[in-house]
Structure 1
Amino acid sequence: MQNGYFQVVRTPGGYGLQIFQPKDGGEDVRLQEVMDYLDRQSIPYDSMSIKKAILAEEDAVCFLERKDCPEIEESCRIEVSEDNLQAIVRFYPASQTGKRATMDSVIKDLRFRNIVYGIQMSVLQDHFMSDGIYCTDLVVARGKEPRHGTDAYIKYYFNTDVHAQPTLKDDGTVDYFHLNMINPCKKGQLLAEVIPEDEGEYGTTVQGAKIRPRQVKKAHLEFGHNIEISEDRRRLTSLVDGHVSLVEGKVFVSDVYEVENVDLSTGNIDFEGSVQVNGNVSSNFVIRAGSNVIISGVVEGAYIEAGGNIIIARGMNGMAKGTLKAGGNIVAKFLENATASAGGYVSTESILHSNVIAATEIQVTGKRGFITGGHVRAGQKIEVKTLGAMLGAPTVVEVGVDPEKKAEYMKMQKEVSEIVKNIRSLQPILANFAEKKSKGVRFTPDQINYLRNTAASMETLNKSLEEKNRRMQELQLEFNPQERAMVQVRGEVYPGTTIIIGDSSMQVKSTYHYCRFERIDGDVKSTPL
């Protein structure tokens, strides 16, 4: 392939410009490039004649002037790319009476332009050892691009997904004995290590200037008790047998307190680490754990609180007093006559006459998969097979608002109502004192002291009312339903069910099948799955 080019040549009676057509798919001669060249040489021309010669199918000569052909030496134009990583030379042939340039002169020109790095001698040799490569961009110098490094990162040797779901069997039930959400660890086990940053390598411009690679980030390990860090502070290992978890970038290992049953033989349990119960938890007993609570049996009307997850393999019959409170997720075979609150999700096969709250999702799956009676609330989504009951047991499901914030709002409503009641009881007292004072009535020291105390109480109440009203306004702004908040039903929805999404609600008056309830144009509406 050869680009088209041009040359000033002798012609009968003067000199002209010969256009050499491209070969093997090369580029055509550029009219503007020809005119710029002739302007630099102060040679007069007719652009239309040149254009006609360029468009000709064969090599053609365009007459320029009735004078001797000027002696024009071979020349070149040097350009440097914007990133300073390439120097490009474009050669123009000498006139028929002129001389060729030399390789040394071109190198001298490059150095004059401060192009000193990555000179491509072979490219220059190809030009000067041949008849010349003209009107073609030749890369005669190449800089070195910087090799950008990579940030340091921490590699964890345990599952860090706090939203991991329980394992589902082929028949649709949950395998509560093989959960993938708890991470047991052994003493001496490697938990995490820092993979160091790669600084990368400097690059070089064709002018010889250094190009700094992008700055990379370092990483460091954060950890709690029961963990040892290596001398180079790059590796964490466990000092005990326990459970490992990652909370807000910090690695924790909790000891495990293991018992057969929680009953009169153990009493209540309050433990900083994790608690594992191989049997059952009897009614009226309390378990408080800083990390996870794992129960292989059934829970009766007990109170269980965990900073992490609560897992109950055989479910909970709360007897209208049992309570679960988890900072993480709650997984149980069933929840019956219980109160449950999770900072993450709730996963179970059935919920019966219970008050259940989850910050994210509630999944009621499995063969039965029903929610009947009670009040079930989730921040984002509720997924269930059967919702309500044929006999019309009042069932309320609610999504779209953070349950904790809504509970805070409801509590504040009651507090504000009580404050307003107290303010109204004090107003007549202060008004009575003010009226008597205007009539010149003199008060005893005890009356004055009572007045001061009443006025101070009024000021405190007004200040508290202002703060609570402000907080209620903030909460109201957050009560817009979360995007795609929904109740998804893979079976039936029975009459007697109330579905609330944000501040909109729907009373179900007829049976629905295989549908999704969403908030559309301000109303709760059903759409098919």
Structure 2
Amino acid sequence: MSESKKGKFFKGLLKQDKNKEQEETEQVAREAEPIAEAQTDQPSAEWALDDNAVEKNRIDMNYRLYSKWCEQNNELPTDILFSKWMREPITELEQQEIEEKAQKAAEQEANEEGGETQEIDEEQDFRVPIPNTDPFHRQLSSAASKIIKKVEAEEKKAEKEEEKRRENPDEATNDEPINPIPDIDAEVHLYMPKGNMCALICAFPPIGNGKPLAQETLNEALEKAKIIYGIDQELAAKIVEEKLYFKIFRIALGDPAIPGKDGEIIEHIPRQEFLSFEEDESGRVNYKDLNLFRNIEKGELICDIIAPEEGQDGMDIKGNVLKGKDGTTPRVPAGSHTVITPDGSRLVAEQDGYISFQAEKFRVENRLVINGDVDMSVGNQDFLGDIFIQGDVFSGFTIKATGNVFISGLVEGAEIIAGENISIGSGMNGNNRGTLHAGDSVQSSFLENAKVYVNGDINTKSMVACEVYCDGSIDVSQGAGILVGGTITAGKSVTAKIIGSKAYRKTELFLGVMPETKTKRDQKEIELKSIKNTRENLQKNIQFLRSAESLTPEKEQVLKQIIEQETLYSKIQQRLAAEIEVLNEEINDYRGCFVRASQVYPPAKITIGGASYNLETTTMKCKFYLSELGEVILGVD
């Protein structure tokens, strides 16, 4: 902004006689220009009024004083109230220049102190002008207009008095010069935007012999505006001490209410089901493992529930408490068979099964229903729960469930594994590839060319050329009731209408042998052997420590711990021995073993325990069982 504009405001206030007084004012302004160029960091002694200048022309001295004051303190010019800056918000370019200037000043200060450059926080640094203060600008312009009107009124009054003196010099009784400038004290103007969260301040300098701004005046203005909180006392003192006129500052700042953070749901299970192929150790991919259904175990994490935070109260500059809004509670996507933990922090599965996302909720189902055949569109299935297949299972696929497997159609050369029961509505033709594993029982329309491993019983209408290992009983007495070929091993009994065939196809039956029970016993025997070896080593250590004449407290503690371990292993050994004994009794109990059939064709071999019976002729309504002498006897049923 040019120097000619800088005096516009006070030139207007200080208009004088169009002849002599106007010329004197312009001459003073020209003399002030070189003085204004010499800026200093601190106000100099020239701030004080010069007596000779006052006597000569107080009006001119006032103008020189304010003009120089603005330049020396690097403040906005004296016509600020009528400039664009006061009427409109500062532009982005002007704001950028202000920021760059502040940054350079900070860097220079840091370099002088030998420290690192610190970034200036515009909101905390009162030196950064506040943009977008149009309402306050209008308020200040209105206040300035009142001052101008008052000065103009005094001007007119002085002009009339001067004119009166010239017209009637003989009547003039007072020879003192007429001063058209009224004495106006420094003023403080405050502005509070809507919400009372901050207050802006701007001080006007005194005019004439008016009183300069005092701390009491500023405090009274704040008190009158009922501003009691968040006052920047340091800034208030600085405005008074350094006479920071014509500048807008933020004098008070309230603490806004901080809303609490909303609660949040962090999902650990994907909502969408998608194909997922996995490589084995050799890098091969089985494209039958589609992983369409995601298994989940009881207690497994589904979602983390982040509770909402409480809002923090704030306070406006008038001391009013602003209530902080609490965060909103999130909607937990809890569906069937899911449960929120007692502490409310997690959503977990209530049971084993597969998890799905339906109707904006996670659901856990322990029944997997496949509406159709198991083919390449479905792939292999490994499920925690029951599987219901409304169709056939084609060759090469594997169905595995921790619960039951129910198949309404036919099973080809596939592998079916169930933790409990297997039920096949249309039967199974394994083509010498199919396998059944059941933790409990198997029920099928027929079984042909398949391997069957069952902990419980088998019930079927026909069994042809199968390799069967059953800890319970085999019943082929319904329907055709044919049991032909293969090797049949049963822990208890075999019942059929017809065993063998007229084509003399050999059939072998082994009873009293419990493969699954025997495997369980063998595992426990291995565990028992390991426990015995551990006990022997512990006993040797105990004996060694006890043989010492004296033991340190540390070794005494070690001995105590070893004795406790040996006692624990002793109890485990006793328990395992008892369990093995029970299993051996089950394995060696042949008293309930028998084979019953309406007709048996040779060649057939029936083995119960260690005794066998070779049948060479067709026999009707027969029963094979073990006598008290340990021999297999053919009896009539």
Question: Which one has a larger percent strand, Structure 1 or Structure 2?
Answer: 1
TM-score w.r.t. length of structure 1: 0.40
TM-score w.r.t. length of structure 2: 0.34
Higher relative contact order (CA 8 A, sep 6+): 1
Question: Which one has a larger percent helix, Structure 1 or Structure 2?
Answer: 2
